[in-house]
Amino acid sequence: MTSIQLLKHNIQKISFKQIGWTILTLNLLLIVYFVFIIQQSDEFLFAFDNTFYTFIAIGFCAQLIDGALGMAYGASSSSLLLHFGVSPKIASASVHMAEVFTTGVSGLSHLKFKNIDKKLLIKLVIPGVIGAVVGAYLLSAVLDGGFIKPYISAYLLILGILILLKGIRNNFKKHKKVRKAGLLALVGGMFDALGGGGWGPIVTSNILNQGKDPRLTIGTVNTAEFFVTFFATGVFLFYVGVDSWQVVLGLIIGGVLAAPLGALVASKINKRLLMIVVSLVIILTSSLNIYHSFIGG
């Protein structure tokens, strides 16, 4: 048996319990790191003002949408943050920091109920992490935030259109195997980090369109998203730091408040109608961001 075959064999032997403990450990490490930064910082500022409540509202709405659709948390929250004047770097970094906790809880829930295709999870995690790290590095250290803002808004506008078309069409093609899962994860991870969202619309939608069971698709992609988000956050912390506590804590608090309502919304609301409404919000806010970037200044 070659070393590559041995590695694949060992990876396939990883249990759901081991994946769960990994998620818990990584979340705990991030919490410890945040506490350490706060204690060491002499410039830690925080105010319960209208701006903070706006971020709570954005986190609440985004998590409610994600709970009902299984996607669009990043696209909706990022487009709204950009609309309220948050820079692309801070917006994407804040969304990913908040998402580490929301996707961690989501992943643990899916593991508990065995909504996971382990082979697909392995195919998604490694290329997804690579794509996210590259995207986060480009946004943090290479690309200028002011220059790239209209292009990020244009990307989110395209995502909004894709979500709208998906809501209108509301049907899936049928294929037995998931094709090009690694490539989907690589592209999804990179654009998710660059634009602050897109993992769900790119990865989940394409896999569902190939006929994969919705329960296993959403569970697997959401669990993989935790690892993608965690490593993107690591890059953002290294290059951007944590100067956006109001945004991060606002998104986390809003998300925690909305989380219990997610399942209720998912069971009561017409998902097709919600997807269309969400896509229109993303399209509108992204269009306004593009307009202000090129016309309004």
Q: Closest Cα to residue 56, out of 35, 34, 81, 33?
A: 81
Answer whether residue 144 is part of any domain.
Answer: yes
pLDDT in tens, 223-232: 899 999 999 9
Q: How many whole angstroms separate alpha carbon 181 and alpha carbon 107?
A: 19
Using CA atoms, how far residue 209 sits from 45, 110, 178, 216, in Å, is 46, 21, 9, 13
Q: Choose among 152, 160, 198: nearest CA to 278.
A: 160
Q: Poorest-confidence range of 1-15, 101-115, 163-177, 193-207?
A: 1-15
User: Does residue 18 belong to any structural domain of this protein?
Assistant: no
Q: HSE of 104 in the Cβ direction (CA atoms, 13 Å)? A: 23
Residue 8 lies in a domain: no
Percent of the chain with pLDDT over 70: 82
Domain of 205, in residue numbers: 51-296
Within a domain: 6? no
Task: Give the span between the Cα atoms of 2 and 41, in whole angstroms.
Answer: 49
- Does residue 42 lie within any of the structural domains? no
Closest CA to 198 of 171, 168, 228: 228
C-alpha torsion 232→233→236→240, nearest 10: 170
pLDDT in tens, 111-129: 888 888 888 998 999 999 9
Residue 271 falls within a domain, yes or no?
yes
* 131 located within any domain: yes
- State pTM to two decimals: 0.79
pLDDT of residue 175: 47
Cβ neighbors of 183 (< 8 A, separation 6 or more) are 127
| pLDDT tens sequence across 43-93 | 556 667 788 899 999 999 888 877 766 677 887 888 889 888 888 888 888
54-77 core/surface letters (b: 16 or more CB in 10 A; e: else): bbbebbbbbbbbbbbbbbbbbbbb
The pLDDT score that the predictor gives to residue 34 is 81
pLDDT of amino acid 185: 94
Domain count, the chain: 1
Residue 9 in any domain: the answer is no
